[in-house]
Amino acid sequence: MKYFFATIAVVLFQFSGFAQNSSNNKEEIAVAARVEILRQAMIDADANKLTAVTSTDLSYGHSDGHLENQNVFIGNIVSGVSDFVTIEFQNQTITVVGDVAIVRHALAAHTRDAGVEKDIKIGIMLVWQKQKNQWLLIARQAFKLSPPSDKK
């Protein structure tokens, strides 16, 4: 009888781990979809989509250290102050912990900020929170990437 209960306990424990992983995978897919909406909305300068995926309490940090709130971030995209011609997210990882998701990637983009064209590659960390059953971007921090090391 002990063996029977021990076997049941092990099966239930493994199933609970599988259910948690399955739930996290589902949430990771949902977050990835929201990240893609953000990426495309930044290229398209779509104020409605940018508003839909960001929190009114957004803290948007640039690699030079300056911060923007939701209104300034969206205003700069829509007005062309920040004009993304192309954006590619590279090496993206998503970690979901409860109602928070941390997304990290390298952003490679071609920009036309204030009419000046350039290519950029920076690191990004996004923090998303599930609010009212929807993932919203609450924080973004960009940072300069270190040059590749020659050490092997």
CATH of the domain at 19: 3.10.450.50
Q: Is residue 120 part of a domain?
A: yes
Q: Grade residue 11 by pLDDT with cuts at 50, 70 and 90.
A: very low
Structural domain harbouring 81: 2-143
Higher pLDDT, 148 or 137: 137
Reply yes or no on whether the pLDDT at 6 is more than 80: no
Q: Is residue 149 part of a domain?
A: no
If one counts the domains in the chain, the total is 1
Residue 115's pLDDT is 85
The candidate with the shortest Cα–Cα distance to 111, out of 47, 48, 63, 147, is 63
**Distance in angstroms (rounded) separating the CA atoms of residues 84 and 90:** 16
Q: In what order do the strands lie in the sheet with 67-68?
A: 67-68, 54-61, 134-143, 116-131, 100-113, 84-97
Tell me the average pLDDT across 122-128. Answer: 98
Structure tokens at 2: 């002990």
Q: Is residue 25 part of a domain?
A: yes
Coil, helix or strand for 18? helix
CA distances from 101 to 122, 128, 138 (A): 20, 5, 10
Could you tell me the pTM of the whole model?
A: 0.82
